[in-house]
Structure 1
Amino acid sequence: MDGYDTGSDARHGPHEPGGAPGQHGTAGLPTPGPGPAVPGPAPATDPGPAGPYAESRTGVAALSLRYRIAAALALAVVAVAACVHIGMVFLHVAPANTVTKKHGKAIDDWIYPEFEQNWKLFAPNPLQQNIAVQVRAEVRAADGGVRTTGWYDLSAEDGRAIDGNLLPSHTQQNELRRAWDFFLATHDGDNRPVGLRGSLSEAYVRRIAALRLGRDDAAGKSGSVIQVQVRSRTTNVPPPKWSGEKVSGQPVYRELPWWPVSAADTDGGAE
């Protein structure tokens, strides 16, 4: 048949599919030859637990299992102790109830003397006096001589430590003040103990005084404290200028008897 005869050679090229590389394929498109090798990305390798992609751990998670268990137990103990302390303080300041009547001694043993609470700041007639606790000592020198020191103003020492301190310690703020309040609450006007906690308050004040004297090196080199005497110096806070109230500006002293000092009072520092 004449005309435009299109045979298979015209349609598919000189060769059928599967020919040599570089020749035409079935779609009439050139098939790429081998050409030069093009480097591709390197196969991924496992960096291992310490490789660059390992998850970094900080804090408690970085500890071994044994130390994490120990940390958890320590936190649990602290949490339980905090809850017990808050509960004891609440029961101490709360009105009398069934729990305080049944377990009052256990609560008192926990609170006194370090954690005693009071409401003097919020009383109808709050404190309007400055009370300074002072102490002097009878000391034995290394040569056997005995002398009496001057008065050490322990309250003034605490005041100097607090003044300008943004984070004063609880000891500097409250230890001496609370000890003296504890003593006054358990003694009458003649300094005789009232109740079962009188001797405890005496031992507490005596120990604080002896430790403070040791800190101030009152006995000198190789000396020892034989006994101490504590007194308070009370002065009235001046009223404001617009007030017509008149108060005395003279200090009032309250001297306690001499107390012998034992090794327990100075943590082994006295004989």
Structure 2
Amino acid sequence: MAESTDIPLGERAWSRPAQLVLGLATVGLLTGTGLFLTAVFLHVAPANSVSRQYRDEVDGLVYPEFEQNWKLFAPNPLQQNVSVDARVRTVADGGATRTHDWTGLTVQDIAAIRGNPAPSHVDQNLLRRAWDFYDGSHNPQDETLTSGHGKLAEEYLKRIALQRIGRTVDGERILEIEFRVTAATVPPPSWSGEAAPPAPKVRELPWWPVDDEDYRGLG
């Protein structure tokens, strides 16, 4: 009588090609994860020979989505409440342009967070970190670039706002966008005896042109 080759119920037999593919995929996933974690570690660790040698590669992977605002062993807590607003200039079919009112981007994030027991990381940090990225790569006096990442920071901030606002406002195509940022120092506790913080500082960026490339990949 021929020996039975039936597969026991509940078990699955993988062919050798399937096992090979699964093995390679596992190795690739673990390797990619290890390289990513190593790059992030080099980004936040104190400067050393390895981080200096591979600085361009590390920066290319980390910026802008995974940029950190703290250094290893030395966290940098927030000391200011920053509010980011944006407004756009549109053009109608007849060629007339119109400047619209400010839209509170940070206000939108706060509204999404408040009362939410599990707020999104995007609502909490995406816009804030985008502004930190821009602020760290531009001169606040004249908005000139101070870092090679400056243009990337501008594009990142612009695309975040345009994703929320869309391509048109009131049926009119967006031509330009402008940002206004208000920074208010976190007040000390009443029992500290420290002086009251200075008045909030308002910073307006120049108008940036908007074209189809700015919407590439946006949902």
With normalisation by structure 1, the TM-score equals 0.68
Work out whether 1:236 is the aligned partner of 2:189.
no
Structure showing the higher strand proportion among its residues:
2
Alignment RMSD (CA, Å): 2.7
Structure 1 equivalent of residue 9 of structure 2: 55
**Preserved contact between residue 155 and residue 176 of structure 1 (Cα < 8 Å):** yes
Task: Summarize the Cα distance change of 1:145–1:68 in structure 2 as closer, same or farther, 3 Å threshold.
Answer: farther
Q: Does 2:34 align with 1:83?
A: yes
Displacement of 1:237 in angstroms is: 2.1
Q: Pick closer, same or farther for the CA change 1:62–1:237 going to 2, 3 Å.
A: farther
**Structure 2 counterparts to residues 186-201 of structure 1, below 5 A:** 186-190=137-141, 191-201=143-153
Higher helix fraction: Structure 1 or Structure 2?
A: 2
> Structure 1 CA distance, aligned partners of 2:186 and 2:210?
34
Deviations for 1:52-85, whole angstroms, at most 9, x for unmatched residues?
xx4313xxx4777665554444443332221111
Q: Does 1:220 align with 2:174?
A: no
Give secondary structure in 2 for the equivalent of 1:135. Answer: strand
Q: Contact between 2:186 and 2:197, CA under 8 Å: does it hold in 1?
A: no
- Once residues 122 and 268 of structure 1 are traced to their aligned partners in structure 2, the CA distance between those partners, rounded to angstroms, is 34
Q: Displacement of 1:48 after TM fit? A: 7.8
Does the aligned pair in 2 maintain the 1:187–1:198 contact within 8 Å?
Answer: yes
**AA in 2 matched with 1:55:** L
In structure 2, do the counterparts of structure 1 residues 106 and 55 end up closer, same or farther at CA, with 3 Å as the change threshold?
A: same
Match of 2:50 in 1: 99
After TM superposition, give the deviation of residue 90 of structure 1 in Å.
0.6
- Listed as ranges, the matches of 1:96-135 within 5 Å are 96-119=47-70, 122-123=75-76, 126-135=77-86
Gap change, CA 1:80 and 1:168, over 3 Å in 2: farther
Alignment check: 8 A CA contact 2:84 2:105 kept: yes
| More deviation, 135-144/161-170 | 161-170
Higher relative contact order (CA 8 A, sep 6+): 2
The gaps in structure 2 that reach 5 residues or longer are none
1:122 is paired with a residue whose SS is: coil
Of 190, 194, 199, 1:245 maps to: 194
Q: CA deviation at 1:99?
A: 1.2
What is aligned with 1:265?
214
Instruction: State whether structure 2 residue 152 is matched by structure 1 residue 203.
Output: no
Are the structure 2 counterparts of residues 79 and 173 from structure 1 closer, same or farther at C-alpha, using a change threshold of 3 Å? farther
Q: Determine the C-alpha separation between the residues in 1 that align with 2:168 and 2:159.
A: 15
Identity %: 39
Encode CA deviations 1:213-263: one digit per residue, 9 max, x unaligned: 11xx76133x32100001111122232221212324743210000000121
Give the match for residue 23 of structure 1.
none
Matched, 1:162 2:113: yes
Q: How many residues align?
A: 213
| TM-score, normalization by structure 2 | 0.83
Structure 1 unaligned blocks of 5 or more: 1-45
Inter-CA distance 96–173: structure 2 relative to 1 (3 Å threshold): same
Q: Does the 8 Å contact 1:179/1:205 carry over to 2?
A: yes
Q: Residue in 2 aligned with 1:43?
A: none
**One-letter amino acid of the structure 1 residue matched with residue 37 of structure 2:** I
SS of 2:140's equivalent? coil
CA distance in 2 between counterparts of 1:185 and 1:105 reads 17
- The 2-side partners of 1:76 and 1:225 are apart by 46
Shift of 1:103: 1.2
Q: Structure 1 CA distance, aligned partners of 2:69 and 2:37? A: 15
CA gap 1:68/1:245 in 2 versus in 1, 3 angstroms: same
